[in-house]
A and B are shown apart, each in its own frame.
Chain A
Amino acid sequence: MKRTIITILCMGLSLALTVPGQAAQPETPATDAARNRIENVIDILKNPAYDEGPEKLEEQRRKILKQVDGFFDFERIAQLSLGRFRRQFSEEEMKTFTDLFTDLLTNTYLKQVQEEFENEKVDYLEEVHHPSDKDRVMVKTLVYRKGNKVPVDYSMYFEDGQWQVYDVKVEGVSLVKNYRTQFEKILLNESPQALIDKVREKLEEKE
Chain B
Amino acid sequence: MMERRYSVGTAMTVATLALCLVLALGGGRVAGAASPIGAGAAADEGAFADEDFFEDEFGTDAGARAGSAVPDPLAPFNKAMFHFNDKLYFWVLKPAATGYKTVTPAIVRTGVKNFFYNLTTPIRVVNCMLQGKSERMGAEIGRFMVNTTVGVLGFGNPASRDPRLAVPEEDLGQTFAVWGIGDGPYIVWPVLGPSTIRDSFGMIGDGFLDPVGYVDPRILSAGIKAFDTINATSFRLGDYEALKASAIIPYEALRDAYIQNRKKKIGE
Report which A residues bind B (CB closer than 8 A): 80, 83-86, 104-105, 108-109, 111-112, 115-116, 128, 130-131, 133, 136, 138, 146-148, 155, 157, 166-167, 171-174, 176-186, 195, 198-199, 202, 206
Contact = CB atoms under 8 A, between A and B. Distances in A.
Nearest to A140: B47
A84 B252 contact: no
Given A171-B261, A181-B66, A181-B252, 20 more contacts: A80-B50, A80-B53, A80-B56, A83-B64, A84-B56, A108-B246, A130-B48, A136-B53, A138-B47, A148-B235, A166-B53, A172-B260, A174-B49, A177-B49, A178-B253, A178-B257, A181-B67, A182-B252, A184-B67, A206-B245
A131 B47 CA distance: 10
B106 interface: yes
Nearest to B247: A182
Contacts of B257: 173, 178
A174 B263 contact: no
A173 B242 CA distance: 14
Interface string B103-119: 00010011001000000
A91 to B, nearest CB: 16
B249 A185 contact: yes
20 contacts: A86-B56, A108-B246, A112-B245, A128-B48, A138-B48, A157-B53, A167-B50, A172-B263, A173-B264, A174-B260, A177-B66, A177-B256, A178-B67, A180-B64, A180-B66, A182-B247, A182-B248, A182-B252, A182-B256, A184-B67
Given A84-B64, A166-B53, A182-B256, A147 B110 contact: yes
Interface of B: 47-50, 52-54, 56, 61, 63-64, 66-68, 106, 109-110, 113, 235-236, 238, 242, 245-249, 252-253, 255-257, 260-261, 263-265
A104 B244 CA distance: 12
Nearest to B65: A184
A147 B106 contact: yes
Contacts of A128: 47-48
Nearest to A157: B53
A40 B242 CA distance: 23
Contacts, number: 109
A182 B256 CA distance: 9
A147 B232 CA distance: 11
5 interchain residue pairs of minimum CB distance: A172-B264, A181-B67, A84-B61, A108-B246, A83-B64
